[in-house]
Amino acid sequence: MIELPLFLVPGAPLALLILFALPQARATARALVPVAPLPALLAALAPVAPPPLALDWLLLGTRLALTETGATFLAFSALLWALAGWGAERLLVRDPARDRFSVCLLLAMTGNLGLLVAQDLGSFYAFFAMMSLASWGLVLHGGGAAQVFAGRIYIAFAILGEVALFAGLAMGAFATGTYMLADLAQPGVPPLALALVAVGFLIKLGAVPLHLWLPLAHSAAPAPASAVLSGAMLKAGLFGLMTVLPLGAVVAPEAGALLAAMAVAGLLIAPLLGLVQGDPKAVLAYSSIGQMSLMALGLGVGLAAPEAWPAIAVALVLLAAHHAFAKAALFLGVPVVWATGIGWPRALVLGAMALPAAALIGLPGTSGGLAKDAIKTAVAVGPGAWAFWLAPALFAASLGTACLMLRAFALLAAAPIRAEVPRGVALPFAVAVGLGVAGLALIPVPTHAAKAAVPSDLLPLAMAAALAALTLAAVRLARVRLVPPAPGGLLAAFEQVPVPAPVLALPAPERRGRALAPRRRRRPDGLAQSGGLAILGMAAALALAAVMLPEPAGSANPTSGAPAPAAAPAQSPAAGD
Amino acid sequence: MTDTSLLVLLPFLAALAATIHARGAAGWGLAGTVASAGLAAHLALSVHASGPASIAIGGWAAPLGITLRADGLAALMIAMTALVGLGVCVQALAAWGLRPTAVEDPRRARMRMGFWPLWLSTLAALNGLYLSGDLFNLYVTFEILGLAAVGLTALSGTRRALRAAFDYLVAGLAGSLLLLLGVALAYAAAGRVDLGVLPLLADSAAGRIAIALIVSGVGLKAALFPLHFWMPAAHSSAAPAASAILSALVVKGALYLALRLLLEGGLVADALRWGLICLGAGGMAWGSVCALRADRLKLLVAYSTVAQIGLIMLAISVAGDPLTGTAWQAAALLMLSHALAKAAMFLAVGRIAEELGHDRISGLNRSDLRPGAAEFAFAIAAISLIGLPPTAGFVGKWVLIDGLIGQGAWPVVALVLTGTVLSVAYLSRVVSRCLRGGPHIAPGARRPPWRAGDVAAIGLAFTALFMGLLSAAPLALLNGPLLS
Amino acid sequence: MIETWLPVAILMTSLGVAPVILMIPDGARTLRTTVNLAAASVKVCLVGWLAWQVARGTDFEARLPVAPGLDLVLQADALSVLFLALSAVLWFLTTIYAVGYLEGGTDRSRFFGFFSLCVAATVGIAMSGNLFTFLIFFEVLTLATWPLVVHRGSAEAHRAGRIYLAYTLGGGLALTLGTIWLYALAGDVTFTPQGTLGNLPAEHPVTLRIIFLLLIAGVGVKAALVPLHGWLPISMVAPAPVSALLHAVAVVKAGAFGIMRIVYDVFGVETTQALGLAMPLAAAAAVTIIWGSLRALTQDDLKKRLAYSTVSQVSYITLGVALISPVAAIGGLAHLIHQGIMKITLFLAAGNFAEGQGVKKVSQMDGMGRLMPGATLAFTVGALGMIGVPPLAGFVSKWYLAAGGLDAQAPLVIALLAGSSLMNAAYFLPILHRAWFRPPPETPAPRLRRIGWMLAVPPAITAGLILAAGLLANAPFSPLGWTRFIVSLEYI
Amino acid sequence: MIVFDLMLAAAILVAGWSALSAPDRTGAIAGFLVFGLLVALSWVRLDAPDVALAEAAIGSGLTGALMLRAAGRMAPPAADRVPRAQRAAAALLACGLAGGLAVAVMDLPGATIVYDPLVRADLGQSGVSNPVTAVLLNFRAWDTLLEMAVLLAALVLVAALGPRGTPRPARLGPLYTPFLRIMAPLSVLVAGHLLWLGATAPGGAFQAGAVLCGGLLALYFGGALRPAAVPAGPLWALCAAGVAVFAAAALAAEVLTGTLLAYPDGADKIWILAIEGGLTVSIGATLLLLFTGLRQGGARA
């Protein structure tokens, strides 16, 4: 197999981007979007990792390399981006602004793929920012009020994250004296720097309470965008944290506890909020929050118990890959549901969607089962004191996911058909489902020997089903009608629809008159009358002053009053005095 | 040093010739001016090369005889007069022609025949004044200067000009009287009237009063606030070329004498300094305020002269001992820059008024006719008057403030800066209106073709502008020893 | 080896051309444009040659004695070349733009004449070898800009002109006074790396502090340090090329450049710190950064928003200088170039919006991405660069400034930069949102005029420069590389 | 004599006051004339007959005549009330000035006048024995030259401002003609005499010129002389001639001796007389023209 240069990973989508600048080439470019991540995929799947690349002239000295973890992330991200590109091409086939979407997609793709191979701070940060900002365009694409609001919240959080990341990276770079990302994990980096970097990544990861943007954005963006947002980009945050945190090297119980607390909060809050949503994509988004919190939990444990980290790292990679495929398949399924009429076609679609859903819930035999088992096993090694509540938390997570899936399916089943959604979206969805099923086998993931399935694994699903049935019954009996709240939780209170154009800058009041010219008089030259007075006054004043003033000191001229020099006038012309 | 006396005699003879041969007045005038300029250049060069020189007229040395003294200061002033004179001559030639034409406007002929003798007399008187080393002789030159200047004021023959000329005449005579009284008193107090007498005058009250009277007379002739009452009307109602001469050159004679008095009077002058500083500051303030309120362009320019004279007087009054300080050089430089800039300004204003038919400031941007060259000259001259780099005014103010800082005279520094701000305020009134354009002006703006008057104004303005970069030359002249 | 002709030639390519252009009749468009562009291209070539020679270590100096102890000195060091290159390249681009912009306008010869004069003044400022020369060109810049501010001739323009003049001449006065005082104290104040004052600071600490204050107040007006910034937003009534080149680049940069010269080459970094002057200066810069951003948030007028953004961004340069750290200095110096190309891009694009669609307010920007994609793209690049998004130029300077803040033991700088970036985003991103993601108004205003290549190409080039300056930051001849070279001279 | 002097001083003051306070112009001019005569008298008392003569002839006589002529051509003065406060201030300031001057005069140190011994020592070399003439035309001839320029400048000024037409005095009766027949030659004679006298005794070009002008004026009033009828050139040339001679002599002296206005040794008197002759003619003509107010360009309508 030929060796693929690493710069092609971000370079291919960028090159395609340039093609978009030419109006004549746009049709071709559009068709090529799905294959843009291909080099990345090849690089990730290559039996021998491509050699590192040093471009000293680029940015602050760019270093590209593919680590083992990076390869996994790169592989599933590339696949997801390809799927999203394909899905978007089919979904937005009639959208006049589809080129704009493609451009944003390509930019975000470049960023996401690039950051996975970037080894130095400058290029990592650049790719990260590129991804974040370009995703803004993905969120905003629909152009409705919800999108505008979601976009505003999204970009606010994104910029906040960028700024925190910038500050943290700058401090870290100053402390270590190098520009290498991996050096941040070395001891000696100030905690504040790490905290800032972590905040930047946690925002991206969607950890509670920095998650507020996530449900909004996911539900507002078109489905393929949601797929990558949830499947690939959230993982970028995870990837960042795994890279820069001194995991496995230092014991930081406080930081670990804080992270774990955030994670547990996410595990509990996400299902509660998600269940009351009325939009299937929002429900799926909340499920993402739950899943990402699970990964954050792993990080927290890793910080608190370094000895557990190697196992946790493996589990996290598994979890990330599995979640990426499953969630992408679910998101891509949403428009397919919309496009199919109620009846057997929809049942068929929902049936297909059930596969990734099952994986998400963690049913044994699925990728999810494998991953969850891995994380459970790994976490169990963690600090002894934590064991008491870790297990219930994990169970709550599974239960929550199951409930959310049921809720999502219920909503999807009842979703009205949308005529504007083209049917062509089914094909990418099918591929995605296939990937969801076979996914972990295709990409280079660390191996984990799952323990045999036990019936208790089905407990969350069963309990969720029971709860759902109970709720349904209660609702029917009590004849209450649930009004789903808007996505966004607390922030919904701030949404203003529609936003009138605010009058921000009042015009300055007109200045009358001129600033520098005082009021003018008719005849400014009527002074001659008093001129005589002025002459007299001046002369008198000076004369009196001359009389009154004491003789200036030192004027005692000895020659004063003396007769003039001898009388003979000099005849020479040069005579002066 | 033959040329020294020729500097006086030649213009004088040319004036006689222009008087007698009225038809060829312009030719005589031109010849006299150019010859005088050549002599001035020669004088400046020789003073620069071989130092100051003096000549005892008739072979009778002072104090019996009269000595002509050409030192750096005098040479600079003479060169300044020549330079401005050349510019004004171009304008006068352009306005009133060189020779009578077959069918001629009588006013034009009258101006031509009247202007040249008067100008040549002014030139002779100024040169004589700068060269003179004798108090009584200075008085006599002031007399010629005053009469010729009144003539120049009245030249345009309008009612307003005649009225102003009369006021000027009366004020000038009063000034001469004070001067004469002072000279007489000095003679009585010290027994002689050559300039060497000045240091002796401090010893007696009579001598000090003599100085006081001379300063009063000089102040009146220099239009020093509050004795400037005659001046704005006179300078604003004369013909452009005449205004330029009056404002740029004639008042400089008196200022020069004031500078000489304070430089050579030494200790006598100490008592006067603070009084003169107050008057200078008052002049700057009052002139600026009046300029801000003026509604006519010429009046504004005339009031700006009041303010500038205040500034120069300020510089003169802080001029310390010429051997140690350099502040007095600032006064000379400021005079030079003011002469060039103010002449350019009056010529430019004359051109603007000629093209627009009026000189109301508020009407400057109301017409689609744009005398762009003249306005440009005005703007450049304004920059020089304000004292912005790289003009001569800037270097003058630099030397002045440098000297003031050296003396620790911070209040005076503040005064100078305030004066600068005020000059920006009133001059920008005009210049901003020259920058018109945009929607309220018809697109087909007419630009009158260039005239020689524009060339004269621009030439003088640019001389003022670049004089700053070339101030090494005047300062080299001033750095030579002074004669006293 | 000391060469004389090159600095003079570089100055004359605009100073000598200015009167020629002023004399060209208004209608002779081709002649004027030819003269203009020829001069501008010659200047670019000469500056390139100069940069090459300076890098090789040749000394350049031209000297004209004005008065005893006062010399007019043109010289070229690395710092000069930085500013020279900026003004030369951007002059060329802006001239092209201005030719297109003023098509059919009045008083074009006056405009281009003064435009050249402004550039001449900028070039003079860049190459001045002592404080006196600097002062002269600084004031010439003030005067030459005024007619451009007032160019439109409306009442509003005149008001802006008055305010501009009041501010800048007031500053000029302070600068003049400070300069004269310093000359009285120290003799000829030649710009020398590490300062020129010798042991004066030990003798006159208080006086020197006052002088520093006067000098900084003088140049601070042009550098738009709060509270001396009032003229800048008001001057935005000027035509777009003027706002672009002068207010974004020449005038404010002249001020920032002056601060550099005063801190580095007059007082020297050590003296500045020893006199306790660095901290107040940094504080002033910080206040300006915050205040400018805050004011920009509430502006609806596009150019005013950009103007306040300029106020904020230019102080990054001051901050970099005032932090007294080589790293921060690199950031500040690089920002001199970076901010220049970014802001000029923004202004040129804004000018295109106004010319093409009559859009002058942020609230009218809806759908501009569809109506004028090229200009909007350039604007986007500029805005993102301003926010500090990598890999654009702004990121590089912010990165070095942040590191410099840490280096100078002022970690608050990071908070400042973070806050400023947030606010930059807050006032730029809504514009981008409107432009790209809002539909154009139902009845879009009729297209005012076609945006010809002369208007379209310059912003595109500068946008490309923004990208290049960021991407190729580590390359030897990038602005960053050059500033490293300069800083290695200032801090030994 | 002291009584006479005191009375004279008081009379001068009274005359000045009456000139200032007269309600109409004619009265004021009359006061001025008296004032001038009294001042001339006081010059005589001060042993300065030259000055007395000049004052009487020019300062009082000619000026008074000019004023009378001008007053006849002007509208009556407007009632221009000067505010009381202004008057009071003026009086106060005048008193202050006078007081200062008085102090100065009292305080005069009695400085030695350096000129007396110098003039006395050099009189022998000046070519004339009248010290006044020696000073005027030799020691300080430069001043005199410039004073002639003043006169000429005044003439040019009057020419530039002068009225459009010149007065045409009526031809006087037959009684006047015989008087003129004596007067005119006599004035020429007296002028010549004064001119010649100037070398040794009080007299000289100014006095001679004044007398000459008196004679010319007599002719003018008699109608015998009508400057307006004379072509402009010659009259102007006459005015300028004397000054031109003076200036030319100055330059010629420079050529001959190397110093401006330094007459060749031994020939001082000749030179001085020649110059004075020119000056006399010039002064006479100038004063006449000043009086008649000829416009430049003369009779050219």
pLDDT in tens, C401-455: 998 998 888 888 999 999 999 999 999 999 999 998 888 887 766 777 777 888 8
Chain B residues closer than 8 Å to C110 by CB: 372, 437
Name the residue in chain C with its Cα closest to that of B440: C154
Q: What percent of chain C has pLDDT over 70?
A: 99
Beta-carbon contacts of residue C53 (< 8 Å; ≥ 6 apart): C3, C6, C60
Minimal Cα–Cα distance from A516 to chain D, Å?
Answer: 34
CA–CA separation, B461 and B471 (whole Å): 15
Chain B residues closer than 8 Å to A535 by CB: 171, 174-175, 178, 216, 220, 227
The three-class DSSP label of residue C61 is: strand
Flag whether pLDDT at C237 surpasses 90: no
Chain A residues closer than 8 Å to C439 by CB: 143
Asked whether the beta carbons of residue C433 and residue A170 sit closer than 8 angstroms, the reply is no
Whether B398 contacts B346, CB under 8 Å: no
Average the pLDDT over each of A554-563, B151-160, D121-130 and give the range with the smallest value: A554-563
Cβ–Cβ contact C104 with B under 8 A: no
* Tokens of residue B308, six digits: 């500038």
The confidence score (pLDDT) of residue A110 equals 93
What is the pLDDT averaged over residues B258-275?
73
What is the pLDDT averaged over residues B355-376?
79
Is B376 within a domain? Answer: yes
Residue D96 is nearest to which of A530, A544, A567, comparing CB atoms? A544
Name the residue in chain C with its Cα closest to that of B417: C173
Q: Tokens 């003569």 sit at which residue?
A: D53
Asked whether the beta carbons of residue A555 and residue B227 sit closer than 8 angstroms, the reply is no
Question: Domains of chain D: which residue ranges?
Answer: 1-71, 82-111, 114-120+128-301
Domain enclosing residue B279, as ranges: 2-479
Average the pLDDT over each of B89-93, B307-311, D199-203, D294-298 and give the range with the smallest value: D294-298
Is B484 within a domain? Answer: no
pLDDT averaged over chain D?
A: 78
ipTM above 0.95, yes or no: no
CA–CA separation, A36 and A552 (whole Å): 96
Asked whether the beta carbons of residue C436 and residue A100 sit closer than 8 angstroms, the reply is yes
Domain enclosing residue A368, as ranges: 10-494
Whether B27 contacts B99, CB under 8 Å: yes
Residue A525 is nearest to which of B67, B191, B232, comparing CB atoms? B232
CA–CA separation, D153 and D151 (whole Å): 5
The confidence score (pLDDT) of residue D226 equals 66
Minimal Cα–Cα distance from C227 to chain B, Å?
Answer: 20
Asked whether the beta carbons of residue A539 and residue D122 sit closer than 8 angstroms, the reply is no
Asked whether the beta carbons of residue C472 and residue A57 sit closer than 8 angstroms, the reply is yes
Phi/psi zone of residue C195: left (φ > 0), alpha (ψ -120 to 50 degrees), beta?
A: left
Cβ–Cβ contact A524 with B under 8 A: yes
Average the pLDDT over each of A497-511, B275-289, C233-247, D211-225 and give the range with the smallest value: A497-511
Is B250 within a domain? Answer: yes
CA–CA separation, D26 and D34 (whole Å): 12
The confidence score (pLDDT) of residue C292 equals 92
Cβ–Cβ contact C437 with A under 8 A: yes
The confidence score (pLDDT) of residue C466 equals 93
Q: How far is CA A359 from CA A371, A435, A445, in A?
A: 9, 12, 17
Is B370 within a domain? Answer: yes
The confidence score (pLDDT) of residue C152 equals 80
CA–CA separation, C448 and C121 (whole Å): 34
**Touch between chain D and chain C (3+ CB pairs, < 8 Å)?**
no
Residue-wise pLDDT tens for chain A (577 aa)? 467 788 888 889 989 988 888 888 888 888 888 999 998 988 888 877 788 888 888 888 888 888 888 888 999 999 999 999 999 988 888 888 888 899 999 999 999 999 999 999 889 999 999 999 999 999 988 888 888 888 989 999 999 999 999 999 989 888 888 888 888 888 788 889 999 999 999 999 988 888 888 888 988 899 999 999 998 999 999 999 998 888 888 888 888 889 989 998 998 888 888 888 888 898 999 999 999 998 998 898 888 888 888 888 888 998 899 899 999 999 999 999 888 887 888 888 899 999 889 888 888 878 888 888 888 888 877 677 777 778 788 888 888 888 899 888 888 888 888 888 888 888 889 888 888 887 677 777 777 676 666 777 778 788 888 888 888 888 778 776 666 666 555 555 555 444 444 444 444 444 444 444 444 444 433 445 577 778 778 788 877 777 766 555 444 343 333 333 333 333 333 333 3
Chain C residues closer than 8 Å to B422 by CB: none
Residue B438 is nearest to which of C68, C153, C173, comparing CB atoms? C153
DSSP letters of B136-181? HHHHHHHHHHHHHHHHHHHTT--HHHHHHHHHHHHHHHHHHHHHHH
* Tokens of residue C210, six digits: 């006052």
* Tokens of residue C368, six digits: 């501009």
User: Considering its fold, how many domains does chain A have in total?
Assistant: 1
The confidence score (pLDDT) of residue B155 equals 85
What is the pLDDT averaged over residues C270-279?
88
Minimal Cα–Cα distance from B388 to chain C, Å?
Answer: 7
The three-class DSSP label of residue A445 is: coil
Whether B135 contacts B193, CB under 8 Å: yes
The confidence score (pLDDT) of residue D232 equals 62
Is A392 within a domain? Answer: yes
- At residue C1 the predicted structure's pLDDT band, cuts being 50, 70 and 90, is low
Chain C residues closer than 8 Å to A504 by CB: 298-300, 362-363
What is the pLDDT averaged over residues C11-38?
88
Minimal Cα–Cα distance from A96 to chain C, Å?
Answer: 11
Q: What is the largest CA-CA distance in chain D?
A: 64
Quick one: which of C490, C480, C328 has its CA closest to C414?
Answer: C328
Q: How many CB pairs under 8 A join B and C?
A: 97
Asked whether the beta carbons of residue B118 and residue D156 sit closer than 8 angstroms, the reply is yes
Beta-carbon contacts of residue C82 (< 8 Å; ≥ 6 apart): C333, C336, C337, C479, C482, C483, C486
User: What does the DSSP 8-state code read for residue B54?
Assistant: E
Q: Tokens 């004209």 sit at which residue?
A: C64
User: Considering its fold, how many domains does chain B have in total?
Assistant: 1
Cβ–Cβ contact A502 with B under 8 A: no
CA–CA separation, C14 and C43 (whole Å): 8
What pLDDT digit, counting tens, does each position of D187-242 carry? 888 888 888 887 777 777 888 888 888 888 888 777 676 655 555 667 777 888 88
Residue B2 is nearest to which of D114, D254, D296, comparing CB atoms? D254
Name the residue in chain D with its Cα closest to that of B181: D101
* Tokens of residue A242, six digits: 């795994």
C262, containing H or E segment: none
Beta-carbon contacts of residue D139 (< 8 Å; ≥ 6 apart): B58, B60, B64, B65, D119, D122, D126
Mutate: best of D93, D118, D120, partner A, most A CBs <10 A: D93
Cβ–Cβ contact A547 with D under 8 A: yes
Question: If interface means Cβ-Cβ distance under 8 Å, which residues of chain A face chain C?
Answer: 56-61, 100, 122-123, 125-126, 129-130, 133, 136-137, 140-141, 143, 147-148, 151, 155, 159-160, 162-164, 166-167, 170-171, 173-174, 501-505, 511, 514-516
Asked whether the beta carbons of residue C181 and residue B405 sit closer than 8 angstroms, the reply is yes
